[in-house]
Amino acid sequence: MKTMKKTYLFLFIIIAAGLISSSCKSDDDGGGGGSAANGTITAKVNGSSVTTMKEVTFAYNVSGTLTIQGNTGGTSSKAFSLLINGIDGTGTYPIGGGANIANSASYMEIEVDMSNPQNSITHTWQAPYDSNQVGEINISELTQTNVKGTFSYTAKNVLGDGSTKTITEGSFNVNIQ
Protein backbone atom coordinates (compact mmCIF):
# COMPACT_ATOMS: atom_id res chain seq x y z
CA MET A 1 0.00 0.00 0.00
CA LYS A 2 2.87 2.36 0.87
CA THR A 3 4.52 1.59 -2.46
CA MET A 4 1.27 2.28 -4.31
CA LYS A 5 0.92 5.70 -2.58
CA LYS A 6 4.51 6.56 -3.53
CA THR A 7 3.84 5.50 -7.10
CA TYR A 8 0.71 7.69 -7.31
CA LEU A 9 2.59 10.60 -5.72
CA PHE A 10 5.42 10.16 -8.20
CA LEU A 11 2.99 10.05 -11.16
CA PHE A 12 1.16 13.13 -9.83
CA ILE A 13 4.44 15.05 -9.60
CA ILE A 14 5.44 14.02 -13.13
CA ILE A 15 2.04 15.02 -14.58
CA ALA A 16 2.00 18.32 -12.66
CA ALA A 17 5.52 19.15 -13.81
CA GLY A 18 4.54 18.41 -17.41
CA LEU A 19 1.48 20.64 -17.18
CA ILE A 20 3.48 23.46 -15.61
CA SER A 21 6.25 23.29 -18.21
CA SER A 22 3.81 23.20 -21.13
CA SER A 23 1.87 26.18 -19.81
CA CYS A 24 5.12 28.23 -19.49
CA LYS A 25 6.34 27.54 -23.04
CA SER A 26 6.53 30.52 -25.32
CA ASP A 27 4.14 30.42 -28.25
CA ASP A 28 6.33 29.86 -31.32
CA ASP A 29 3.59 30.15 -33.93
CA GLY A 30 4.38 33.83 -34.54
CA GLY A 31 1.50 35.21 -32.48
CA GLY A 32 -1.27 37.39 -33.89
CA GLY A 33 -1.05 38.93 -37.32
CA GLY A 34 -1.16 42.53 -36.16
CA SER A 35 -3.33 45.35 -37.46
CA ALA A 36 -1.67 46.33 -40.75
CA ALA A 37 -4.02 46.74 -43.69
CA ASN A 38 -3.43 44.52 -46.71
CA GLY A 39 -0.27 45.61 -48.54
CA THR A 40 1.16 47.79 -45.76
CA ILE A 41 3.60 47.95 -42.88
CA THR A 42 2.66 50.00 -39.83
CA ALA A 43 4.51 50.80 -36.59
CA LYS A 44 5.16 53.44 -34.00
CA VAL A 45 8.57 55.11 -34.24
CA ASN A 46 9.45 56.75 -30.93
CA GLY A 47 5.68 56.89 -30.30
CA SER A 48 4.61 58.38 -33.68
CA SER A 49 2.62 56.24 -36.12
CA VAL A 50 4.10 55.44 -39.53
CA THR A 51 2.26 53.49 -42.27
CA THR A 52 3.71 52.60 -45.66
CA MET A 53 1.93 52.99 -48.97
CA LYS A 54 0.66 49.84 -50.67
CA GLU A 55 2.28 50.88 -53.98
CA VAL A 56 5.79 50.82 -52.49
CA THR A 57 5.48 47.92 -50.02
CA PHE A 58 6.54 44.41 -50.99
CA ALA A 59 8.12 41.15 -49.86
CA TYR A 60 10.43 38.60 -51.45
CA ASN A 61 11.15 35.07 -50.27
CA VAL A 62 14.17 33.74 -52.16
CA SER A 63 15.99 30.57 -51.07
CA GLY A 64 14.87 30.90 -47.45
CA THR A 65 15.65 34.62 -47.13
CA LEU A 66 12.54 36.73 -46.51
CA THR A 67 12.77 40.47 -47.17
CA ILE A 68 9.87 42.79 -46.28
CA GLN A 69 10.15 46.46 -47.29
CA GLY A 70 7.89 49.47 -47.41
CA ASN A 71 8.02 53.24 -47.83
CA THR A 72 5.59 56.07 -47.02
CA GLY A 73 6.37 57.82 -50.32
CA GLY A 74 6.73 61.52 -50.99
CA THR A 75 9.66 63.93 -50.68
CA SER A 76 9.84 63.40 -46.92
CA SER A 77 9.43 59.66 -46.57
CA LYS A 78 9.99 56.97 -43.98
CA ALA A 79 10.78 53.34 -44.68
CA PHE A 80 11.08 49.94 -42.99
CA SER A 81 13.15 46.96 -44.05
CA LEU A 82 12.98 43.55 -42.32
CA LEU A 83 15.23 40.62 -43.25
CA ILE A 84 15.05 37.02 -42.02
CA ASN A 85 17.71 34.58 -43.20
CA GLY A 86 16.81 30.90 -42.95
CA ILE A 87 13.08 31.36 -42.53
CA ASP A 88 11.32 28.03 -42.15
CA GLY A 89 7.72 29.04 -41.51
CA THR A 90 5.73 30.78 -38.82
CA GLY A 91 7.47 31.61 -35.57
CA THR A 92 9.50 34.18 -33.71
CA TYR A 93 12.78 35.35 -35.22
CA PRO A 94 15.07 37.34 -32.90
CA ILE A 95 16.93 40.39 -34.19
CA GLY A 96 20.47 40.15 -32.87
CA GLY A 97 21.76 38.12 -29.98
CA GLY A 98 24.72 35.96 -30.92
CA ALA A 99 24.12 33.91 -34.06
CA ASN A 100 20.86 35.78 -34.80
CA ILE A 101 22.76 38.67 -36.32
CA ALA A 102 21.61 37.31 -39.70
CA ASN A 103 18.11 38.64 -38.94
CA SER A 104 18.02 42.41 -39.25
CA ALA A 105 15.74 45.40 -39.43
CA SER A 106 16.18 49.02 -40.36
CA TYR A 107 14.24 52.25 -40.31
CA MET A 108 15.03 55.12 -42.71
CA GLU A 109 14.05 58.75 -43.05
CA ILE A 110 14.60 60.22 -46.50
CA GLU A 111 14.53 63.95 -47.34
CA VAL A 112 14.44 64.62 -51.08
CA ASP A 113 15.62 68.04 -52.24
CA MET A 114 13.41 68.60 -55.29
CA SER A 115 15.58 71.48 -56.57
CA ASN A 116 18.66 69.22 -56.46
CA PRO A 117 17.81 65.52 -55.93
CA GLN A 118 21.52 64.68 -55.54
CA ASN A 119 21.46 66.65 -52.28
CA SER A 120 18.87 64.28 -50.82
CA ILE A 121 19.60 63.02 -47.31
CA THR A 122 18.95 59.53 -45.94
CA HIS A 123 19.28 58.67 -42.25
CA THR A 124 19.33 54.96 -41.43
CA TRP A 125 18.83 53.30 -38.04
CA GLN A 126 20.00 49.67 -38.09
CA ALA A 127 19.28 46.68 -35.85
CA PRO A 128 21.17 44.82 -34.57
CA TYR A 129 24.03 47.21 -33.87
CA ASP A 130 25.94 45.07 -31.35
CA SER A 131 25.82 41.45 -30.11
CA ASN A 132 22.65 41.90 -28.02
CA GLN A 133 19.14 40.93 -29.03
CA VAL A 134 17.35 44.23 -29.79
CA GLY A 135 13.99 42.98 -31.02
CA GLU A 136 12.07 40.31 -32.87
CA ILE A 137 10.02 39.61 -35.96
CA ASN A 138 6.98 37.36 -35.47
CA ILE A 139 5.64 35.59 -38.55
CA SER A 140 2.03 34.52 -37.94
CA GLU A 141 1.16 33.58 -41.53
CA LEU A 142 3.44 32.66 -44.40
CA THR A 143 2.19 31.40 -47.75
CA GLN A 144 3.71 31.53 -51.23
CA THR A 145 1.81 34.78 -51.87
CA ASN A 146 1.50 36.60 -48.51
CA VAL A 147 3.24 37.18 -45.18
CA LYS A 148 1.66 38.57 -42.00
CA GLY A 149 3.15 39.29 -38.63
CA THR A 150 4.40 41.74 -36.05
CA PHE A 151 7.75 43.26 -35.09
CA SER A 152 9.51 45.51 -32.62
CA TYR A 153 13.11 46.60 -32.24
CA THR A 154 15.51 49.30 -31.20
CA ALA A 155 17.77 50.58 -33.97
CA LYS A 156 20.84 52.80 -33.95
CA ASN A 157 22.10 55.36 -36.45
CA VAL A 158 25.54 53.73 -36.62
CA LEU A 159 26.88 55.85 -39.50
CA GLY A 160 25.43 59.11 -38.24
CA ASP A 161 24.87 60.71 -34.87
CA GLY A 162 24.55 57.43 -32.90
CA SER A 163 20.94 58.16 -31.96
CA THR A 164 18.44 55.34 -31.45
CA LYS A 165 14.85 54.84 -32.59
CA THR A 166 12.42 52.57 -30.78
CA ILE A 167 10.05 50.76 -33.13
CA THR A 168 6.95 49.36 -31.38
CA GLU A 169 3.54 47.95 -32.31
CA GLY A 170 4.86 47.03 -35.75
CA SER A 171 2.78 44.84 -38.04
CA PHE A 172 2.77 43.87 -41.71
CA ASN A 173 0.41 42.23 -44.18
CA VAL A 174 2.37 42.10 -47.42
CA ASN A 175 2.08 40.24 -50.72
CA ILE A 176 5.13 38.18 -51.70
CA GLN A 177 6.34 38.90 -55.23
Length of the chain: 177
With CA atoms as reference, report the closest residue to 145 among 117, 175, 118.
175
pLDDT at site 101: 75
Higher pLDDT, residue 113 or 134? 134
What average pLDDT does range 116-142 have in this prediction? 94
The answer to whether the peptide bond before residue 128 is cis (omega within 30 degrees of 0) is yes
Report percent pLDDT > 70 for the chain.
80
Domain parsing of the chain, residue ranges: 28-175
- pLDDT score recorded for residue 54: 96
Residue-wise DSSP of 57-117: EEEEEETTEEEEEEE--SSEEEEEEEEEET--SSEEEEEESGGGGGSEEEEEEEE--TT-G
137-160 pLDDT tens trace: 999 999 999 999 999 999 999 899
Question: What's the distance, CA 4 to chain centroid?
Answer: 52
Task: State the average pLDDT for the chain.
Answer: 84
Among candidate residues 56, 75, 21, 41, the one with its CA nearest the CA of residue 152: 41
Distance separating alpha carbons of residues 63 and 173, to the nearest angstrom: 21
Report the C-alpha gap between 139 and 66 in whole angstroms.
11
User: How many Å apart are CA 27 and CA 142, to the nearest integer?
Assistant: 16
Residue 126, pLDDT above cutoff 80 = yes
pLDDT for the residue numbered 31: 62
DSSP 176: B
Closest to 65 (Cα-Cα) out of 89, 85, 35, 45: 85
Task: Find all residues with CB under 8 Å of 13, minimum gap 6, and list them.
Answer: none
Q: Using pLDDT thresholds of 50, 70 and 90, give the confidence band for residue 71.
A: very high
